[in-house]
Chains A and B, each alone.
Chain A
């Protein structure tokens, strides 16, 4: 394929990142693998000995795993919604960051469902979900929605990468034979003819339109696992939109963090510019405010109405001897901090915004935990149980090990994928010459703090 000067520049810049698997990459890979092995051992224990090795018991039947499940499906919104919406709106500055966003989506949509499988007591009977499906169950909705969403996300990522695969194929990269062959297969004969261009463009537009409602459905049905029950703190009509919003919000946060890491690691300052952080920061600010509004509305209603069961959950969240500090952290770091960091010009810098994202993403993880556990610890009938582990949930090392294994898998997949395809999509430069210049012309460089 004929490359224009901008594309050539982008390719030359990133050539080493996909050609070489350096010592650093190996070190990280081994580090992540070690975590995954520990997680594998924990999983073995859980399967061999039963769920007794977890902290979950008859009252708190779900714990860390479900929180991780919501979290990972949540951050998958980076690609689906952010990149999907920006695609439909034809926002040109999105181009250098869509690859990262869509990689986050695909990877976290693989990892998320693994965590719900960890909650399942009989993995050997998973096929029952297909043999005896019941459409009434929100879990069936989840199975349908997530598998469709995952397929859609993979197609979306692939469509956006076909042109790049063609470029890798023709660029004579110094990579093993099998990879060259794979690029050739994945490029499915793309030569950049007008008809091919048109088809990809139409498919991309279609997928962008499909992926957004799909993503909204996924997190809505996920929230309805909780919303459809008669439990205090869960049985809420705003749970669907609340979860969707939190998901887009946390997805934006992870996207910003990933951008910051890769820009620093691969020195991609020409492509991932300060404006990307600032624009995404603005999006984060708006989402944060909306998320804060939802949070306020949800807890104000429960607190003001003060029904018996709701009050019990609210009391647990507000009292510092129980979940008070965590609740405070979830709201300060999850709502106020990103808003203030982006609002003040002084802190509206890539480093600060990435730091705020880090806190925000952590806070949203905590929030998911606070949605699950306090409610399950507040059954409608008095527990009257003296077995401490039945009354109060505390995750065991097995659950933590698998949680960290999940995070390690995320990083590992990211490392491997970024060695297989360039972080900055090369083909995106040059389709429209006018906008290109804007994208590739480096603005005043500011090295992040």
Chain B
């Protein structure tokens, strides 16, 4: 697969390629998306761009299909608090397919204009006990149905919508960080200083659905890209993943898709023994994991081509694994 070659390059190249691949994947993903109601209309510019698709094909698409970033929200703040009626969004993450390609991370960062060190979506290297083999564990916000973060917010800045999403209104947030202390999954990040975003981004009107631009002194996190979902597009991480790790969809419709294939959510969970991380906390996450059984990649594959600073993160687990 072409993605492996990408991984063989240096860090800088990796990032550059990731950016291009992200755009390509997003564009292609949007075409493949089946979960949305209506497809987003583009005005064709006539200008064609050559890109790499998730399955390694070179494709030519109209440049207007490219999405640079999340634009201003298409709905009002009040509507953004309410959610999309009749929907119940759900995500399934297939741990057997993840090899820490980190495309999801970079796509998310690009789309939300986040600096490289700010990860709304992170990939952890997990090792459940001494005997078990380590595996890569992409972690989004779990959009819990019983969210500890929402319970503690004193100003209703973070809230639960009828479509299951937990979002943040960063114009409302007072930055007390109580939600960060309350979240058992360390999902939330804080803007400790003035976010370094471009002027045209900073001038956008922030709504809970876009989470752009970042605001100093407020909390932010993975939002499942509801503005894209409204347009019938998949979240950035889903489309960016070269291995189809992320399935996103609607529990009410009982369909989830990773961009390549669309499957029944219930059957996927049933057949592959889907589980929710730390079920015993009672937070009722909306993110399900498929256990890392019959893995497509050895775990080291996600490690060897990483830059050194990234490798250092996983050192403890990796070195223990080698013993």
Contacts and interface: CB of A to CB of B under 8 A. Distances in A.
B125 A384 contact: yes
A49 B313 contact: no
A233 to B, nearest CB: 12
A137 B154 contact: yes
A173 interface: no
A393 interface: no
Interface in B192-222: 192-194, 216-219
Contacts of A50: 191-194, 216-217
Most buried by A among B156, B176, B216: B176
Given A133-B155, A134-B156, A140-B154, A61 B184 contact: no
Interface stretch (B49-57, B102-110, B145-153, B257-265): B145-153
Nearest to A131: B155
Given A129-B154, A386-B312, A137 B178 contact: yes
B183 to A, nearest CB: 9
Contacts, number: 135
Contacts of B184: 229-231, 380
Majority SS of interface residues in chain B?
loop
Contacts of A380: 184-186, 278
Contacts of B180: 58, 61
Nearest to A138: B152
A136 B150 CA distance: 9
Contacts of B177: 61-62, 119, 121
A120 B155 CA distance: 13
B155 A134 contact: yes
Interface in A323-367: none
A387 interface: yes
Interface residues of B, number: 47
B43 interface: no
A138 B173 CA distance: 16
Interface in A250-290: none
Contacts of A34: none
A176 interface: no
Interface in B108-164: 117, 122, 124-126, 139, 148, 151-157
A381 interface: yes
Contact of A384 (B152, B191, B313): B313
A120 B180 CA distance: 13
A13 interface: no
B20 interface: no
Contacts of B188: 58
B181 interface: yes
Given A121-B176, A229-B148, A382-B126, A376 B156 contact: no
A385 interface: yes
Given A50-B216, A57-B192, A134-B154, A230 B281 contact: yes
B194 to A, nearest CB: 6
A51 B181 contact: no
7 nearest A-B pairs in the assembled complex, by CB-CB distance: A121-B175, A121-B217, A50-B193, A139-B154, A52-B193, A61-B177, A137-B154
26 contacts: A50-B216, A51-B175, A58-B186, A58-B188, A58-B190, A120-B175, A121-B174, A122-B173, A128-B155, A128-B157, A128-B174, A129-B154, A129-B174, A134-B154, A134-B155, A136-B151, A138-B152, A139-B176, A228-B182, A230-B281, A376-B181, A379-B186, A380-B186, A382-B124, A382-B317, A384-B314
Given A121-B177, A229-B181, 14 more contacts: A59-B186, A120-B175, A121-B173, A121-B191, A137-B151, A138-B178, A228-B151, A228-B152, A229-B182, A231-B184, A382-B124, A382-B125, A382-B316, A384-B313
